[in-house]
Amino acid sequence: MQTSRLAPRPPFLAAPGAPPVEWLVSPGLTGYPEALAAMEARAEAIAAGEADERVWLLEHPPLYTAGTSAREADLLDPRFPVFRAGRGGQFTYHGPGQRVAYAMLDLRRRRPDVRAYVVALESWLIGALAAFGVEGETREDRVGVWVARPDRPRAADGSTAEDKIAAIGVRIRRWATFHGVALNVAPDLSHFSGIVPCGIAAQHYGVTSLADLGRAASMADVDAALRASFERIFGATAILAPATVPA
Protein backbone atom coordinates (compact mmCIF):
# COMPACT_ATOMS: atom_id res chain seq x y z
CA MET A 1 0.00 0.00 0.00
CA GLN A 2 1.55 3.27 -1.13
CA THR A 3 1.38 6.32 1.11
CA SER A 4 1.04 9.75 -0.45
CA ARG A 5 2.41 12.94 0.97
CA LEU A 6 -0.07 15.74 1.09
CA ALA A 7 0.63 18.96 -0.76
CA PRO A 8 1.40 22.02 1.35
CA ARG A 9 -1.25 24.58 2.06
CA PRO A 10 -0.80 26.79 -0.99
CA PRO A 11 -0.01 29.43 -1.89
CA PHE A 12 3.76 29.80 -1.56
CA LEU A 13 3.51 33.50 -2.31
CA ALA A 14 6.15 36.19 -2.12
CA ALA A 15 5.73 39.11 0.26
CA PRO A 16 3.14 41.72 -0.77
CA GLY A 17 4.48 44.16 -3.35
CA ALA A 18 7.09 41.79 -4.76
CA PRO A 19 7.46 41.95 -8.56
CA PRO A 20 6.07 39.10 -10.69
CA VAL A 21 8.31 36.14 -11.42
CA GLU A 22 10.00 36.41 -14.80
CA TRP A 23 8.78 33.62 -17.11
CA LEU A 24 11.28 32.76 -19.83
CA VAL A 25 11.04 30.05 -22.51
CA SER A 26 14.15 29.24 -24.56
CA PRO A 27 13.77 27.80 -28.07
CA GLY A 28 15.76 24.83 -29.35
CA LEU A 29 18.19 22.92 -27.16
CA THR A 30 20.26 24.54 -24.41
CA GLY A 31 23.60 23.05 -23.36
CA TYR A 32 23.83 21.99 -19.75
CA PRO A 33 27.05 23.86 -18.81
CA GLU A 34 25.63 27.10 -20.21
CA ALA A 35 22.35 26.59 -18.35
CA LEU A 36 24.13 25.81 -15.08
CA ALA A 37 26.30 28.93 -15.34
CA ALA A 38 23.29 31.12 -16.10
CA MET A 39 21.32 29.64 -13.20
CA GLU A 40 24.12 30.10 -10.72
CA ALA A 41 24.64 33.71 -11.80
CA ARG A 42 20.95 34.52 -11.47
CA ALA A 43 20.65 32.79 -8.09
CA GLU A 44 23.65 34.75 -6.82
CA ALA A 45 22.09 38.01 -8.02
CA ILE A 46 18.77 37.11 -6.39
CA ALA A 47 20.51 36.33 -3.09
CA ALA A 48 22.26 39.71 -3.28
CA GLY A 49 18.96 41.50 -3.91
CA GLU A 50 20.10 42.54 -7.39
CA ALA A 51 17.72 40.55 -9.62
CA ASP A 52 14.11 39.44 -9.80
CA GLU A 53 12.96 35.84 -9.49
CA ARG A 54 12.81 33.77 -12.67
CA VAL A 55 11.44 30.50 -14.04
CA TRP A 56 13.34 29.32 -17.11
CA LEU A 57 11.79 26.67 -19.38
CA LEU A 58 14.02 24.82 -21.83
CA GLU A 59 15.05 21.50 -23.37
CA HIS A 60 18.51 19.97 -23.16
CA PRO A 61 20.30 17.71 -25.64
CA PRO A 62 20.50 14.10 -24.37
CA LEU A 63 22.57 13.95 -21.18
CA TYR A 64 22.73 12.51 -17.68
CA THR A 65 23.16 14.56 -14.53
CA ALA A 66 24.40 13.29 -11.17
CA GLY A 67 23.13 14.83 -7.97
CA THR A 68 24.97 14.94 -4.69
CA SER A 69 23.65 11.50 -3.67
CA ALA A 70 24.41 9.76 -7.00
CA ARG A 71 25.96 6.29 -6.82
CA GLU A 72 28.43 5.35 -9.56
CA ALA A 73 26.83 1.92 -9.82
CA ASP A 74 23.62 3.58 -11.00
CA LEU A 75 25.33 4.82 -14.19
CA LEU A 76 24.71 1.71 -16.27
CA ASP A 77 25.63 2.98 -19.74
CA PRO A 78 27.22 6.44 -20.12
CA ARG A 79 26.08 6.73 -23.73
CA PHE A 80 25.45 10.45 -23.23
CA PRO A 81 27.55 13.14 -21.53
CA VAL A 82 27.44 13.01 -17.72
CA PHE A 83 27.44 16.21 -15.66
CA ARG A 84 27.86 16.69 -11.93
CA ALA A 85 24.92 18.93 -11.18
CA GLY A 86 25.41 20.01 -7.56
CA ARG A 87 21.69 19.61 -6.90
CA GLY A 88 20.17 17.16 -4.48
CA GLY A 89 19.20 13.69 -5.67
CA GLN A 90 20.82 10.98 -7.77
CA PHE A 91 21.13 10.30 -11.52
CA THR A 92 18.55 11.63 -13.93
CA TYR A 93 18.20 12.03 -17.68
CA HIS A 94 17.45 15.19 -19.66
CA GLY A 95 16.77 15.36 -23.37
CA PRO A 96 14.53 16.54 -26.18
CA GLY A 97 10.83 16.11 -25.48
CA GLN A 98 11.30 16.77 -21.78
CA ARG A 99 10.32 20.16 -20.38
CA VAL A 100 12.88 21.33 -17.85
CA ALA A 101 11.80 24.24 -15.67
CA TYR A 102 14.53 25.88 -13.62
CA ALA A 103 13.10 27.87 -10.72
CA MET A 104 15.22 30.69 -9.35
CA LEU A 105 13.22 32.00 -6.43
CA ASP A 106 13.95 33.90 -3.23
CA LEU A 107 12.64 31.89 -0.29
CA ARG A 108 13.25 34.83 2.02
CA ARG A 109 10.37 36.52 0.19
CA ARG A 110 8.23 33.42 0.51
CA ARG A 111 8.95 30.79 3.16
CA PRO A 112 12.50 29.81 4.20
CA ASP A 113 11.55 26.15 4.47
CA VAL A 114 13.31 23.69 2.14
CA ARG A 115 10.88 20.82 2.67
CA ALA A 116 7.85 23.01 2.08
CA TYR A 117 9.47 24.33 -1.09
CA VAL A 118 10.03 20.84 -2.51
CA VAL A 119 6.43 19.89 -1.80
CA ALA A 120 5.28 23.13 -3.43
CA LEU A 121 7.20 22.12 -6.57
CA GLU A 122 5.44 18.76 -6.53
CA SER A 123 2.09 20.53 -6.19
CA TRP A 124 2.99 22.71 -9.17
CA LEU A 125 3.62 19.64 -11.32
CA ILE A 126 0.52 17.82 -10.11
CA GLY A 127 -1.62 20.84 -11.02
CA ALA A 128 -0.10 21.01 -14.51
CA LEU A 129 -0.65 17.28 -15.11
CA ALA A 130 -4.29 17.60 -14.11
CA ALA A 131 -4.83 19.83 -17.15
CA PHE A 132 -4.20 16.73 -19.29
CA GLY A 133 -6.32 14.37 -17.22
CA VAL A 134 -3.30 12.77 -15.54
CA GLU A 135 -3.43 12.14 -11.79
CA GLY A 136 0.03 12.77 -10.45
CA GLU A 137 0.85 11.57 -6.96
CA THR A 138 3.65 11.88 -4.41
CA ARG A 139 5.10 9.19 -2.17
CA GLU A 140 6.54 9.28 1.34
CA ASP A 141 9.70 7.45 0.30
CA ARG A 142 10.23 8.90 -3.19
CA VAL A 143 10.67 12.47 -4.38
CA GLY A 144 9.03 13.47 -7.65
CA VAL A 145 5.63 12.87 -9.21
CA TRP A 146 4.31 9.41 -10.02
CA VAL A 147 1.35 7.88 -11.85
CA ALA A 148 -0.28 4.53 -11.10
CA ARG A 149 0.02 1.91 -13.86
CA PRO A 150 -2.58 -0.77 -13.12
CA ASP A 151 -2.03 -2.07 -16.67
CA ARG A 152 1.47 -3.28 -15.75
CA PRO A 153 2.47 -6.27 -13.56
CA ARG A 154 2.17 -5.69 -9.82
CA ALA A 155 4.96 -5.94 -7.29
CA ALA A 156 5.53 -9.17 -5.36
CA ASP A 157 3.60 -7.72 -2.40
CA GLY A 158 0.65 -6.84 -4.64
CA SER A 159 1.40 -3.13 -4.88
CA THR A 160 0.31 -1.42 -8.09
CA ALA A 161 3.07 -0.63 -10.56
CA GLU A 162 3.98 3.05 -10.81
CA ASP A 163 5.90 5.21 -13.25
CA LYS A 164 7.68 8.47 -12.61
CA ILE A 165 6.56 11.27 -14.90
CA ALA A 166 8.40 14.20 -13.34
CA ALA A 167 11.64 14.61 -11.41
CA ILE A 168 12.67 17.26 -8.91
CA GLY A 169 16.16 18.35 -7.93
CA VAL A 170 16.94 21.57 -6.10
CA ARG A 171 19.81 23.53 -4.72
CA ILE A 172 19.47 26.48 -2.36
CA ARG A 173 22.18 29.01 -1.65
CA ARG A 174 21.53 31.90 0.75
CA TRP A 175 17.81 31.06 0.34
CA ALA A 176 17.97 31.58 -3.43
CA THR A 177 16.87 28.46 -5.31
CA PHE A 178 18.09 26.98 -8.57
CA HIS A 179 17.70 23.78 -10.57
CA GLY A 180 14.05 22.70 -10.47
CA VAL A 181 11.79 20.19 -12.20
CA ALA A 182 11.72 18.03 -15.33
CA LEU A 183 8.41 16.87 -16.83
CA ASN A 184 8.39 14.10 -19.42
CA VAL A 185 6.26 15.28 -22.34
CA ALA A 186 7.41 13.06 -25.22
CA PRO A 187 11.10 12.09 -24.71
CA ASP A 188 12.69 8.88 -25.94
CA LEU A 189 12.06 6.78 -22.82
CA SER A 190 14.72 4.25 -23.85
CA HIS A 191 17.32 6.88 -22.96
CA PHE A 192 16.49 6.38 -19.29
CA SER A 193 17.86 2.82 -19.48
CA GLY A 194 21.43 4.10 -19.23
CA ILE A 195 20.90 4.93 -15.56
CA VAL A 196 18.96 3.79 -12.53
CA PRO A 197 16.67 6.84 -12.49
CA CYS A 198 16.86 8.54 -9.11
CA GLY A 199 18.35 5.34 -7.67
CA ILE A 200 15.05 3.44 -7.85
CA ALA A 201 15.60 0.00 -9.35
CA ALA A 202 12.47 -1.97 -8.35
CA GLN A 203 10.93 -3.68 -11.38
CA HIS A 204 7.43 -2.32 -10.75
CA TYR A 205 8.70 1.27 -10.86
CA GLY A 206 9.37 2.77 -14.27
CA VAL A 207 9.38 6.01 -16.23
CA THR A 208 6.57 7.42 -18.33
CA SER A 209 5.55 10.54 -20.22
CA LEU A 210 2.41 12.31 -21.37
CA ALA A 211 2.86 10.74 -24.81
CA ASP A 212 3.34 7.27 -23.27
CA LEU A 213 0.08 7.76 -21.39
CA GLY A 214 -1.72 8.64 -24.62
CA ARG A 215 -1.94 12.39 -24.02
CA ALA A 216 -1.17 14.32 -27.19
CA ALA A 217 0.25 17.57 -25.80
CA SER A 218 2.57 20.03 -27.51
CA MET A 219 5.35 21.69 -25.56
CA ALA A 220 3.39 24.94 -25.82
CA ASP A 221 0.37 23.21 -24.25
CA VAL A 222 2.54 21.97 -21.40
CA ASP A 223 4.10 25.40 -20.90
CA ALA A 224 0.65 26.98 -20.60
CA ALA A 225 -0.41 24.38 -18.04
CA LEU A 226 2.81 24.85 -16.07
CA ARG A 227 2.36 28.60 -15.98
CA ALA A 228 -1.27 28.42 -14.83
CA SER A 229 -0.42 25.94 -12.09
CA PHE A 230 2.65 27.91 -11.01
CA GLU A 231 0.64 31.10 -10.62
CA ARG A 232 -1.91 29.37 -8.39
CA ILE A 233 0.85 28.41 -5.96
CA PHE A 234 3.64 30.97 -6.36
CA GLY A 235 1.87 34.06 -7.71
CA ALA A 236 1.97 36.21 -10.81
CA THR A 237 4.45 35.82 -13.65
CA ALA A 238 5.59 38.13 -16.44
CA ILE A 239 6.60 36.68 -19.81
CA LEU A 240 10.04 37.65 -21.12
CA ALA A 241 11.16 37.60 -24.75
CA PRO A 242 12.65 34.20 -25.68
CA ALA A 243 16.38 33.77 -25.19
CA THR A 244 18.77 30.89 -25.82
CA VAL A 245 20.90 31.53 -22.72
CA PRO A 246 19.54 34.46 -20.70
CA ALA A 247 21.53 37.10 -18.89
**Binding-site annotation: residue ranges for substrate:** 87-94, 167-169, 180-182
Over residues 182-195, the pLDDT tens digits come to 999 999 999 999 99
Annotated binding site: 87-94, 167-169, 180-182
Between 3.20.10.10, 3.30.930.10, 3.40.47.10, 3.40.50.2300, what CATH number should domain 21-239 receive? 3.30.930.10
Q: Where are the domains of the chain?
A: 21-239
User: Which residues belong to the active site?
Assistant: 198
Q: pTM, whole model, 2 decimals?
A: 0.93
If DSSP states are collapsed to H, E and C, what string results for 92-135?
EEECCCEEEEEEECECCCCCCCHHHHHHHHHHHHHHHHHCCCCC
How open is the CA angle 106-117-61, to the nearest 5 degrees?
A: 85
| CA 52 to chain CA mean position, Å | 21
Question: Which residues share a beta bridge with 101?
Answer: 57, 181
Compute, in degrees rounded to 10, the torsion defined by CA atoms 217, 133, 211, 145.
110
Q: What is the pLDDT along the chain (247 residues), one digit of tens a residue?
A: 454 554 445 589 998 899 999 999 999 999 999 999 999 999 999 999 999 999 999 999 999 999 888 899 999 999 999 999 888 788 999 999 999 999 999 999 999 999 999 999 999 999 999 999 999 999 887 889 999 998 888 887 888 899 999 999 999 999 999 999 999 999 999 999 999 886 666 777 899 999 999 999 999 999 999 999 999 999 999 999 998 899 8
- Interval 167-218: pLDDT, tens: 999 999 999 999 999 999 999 999 999 998 866 667 778 999 999 999 999 9
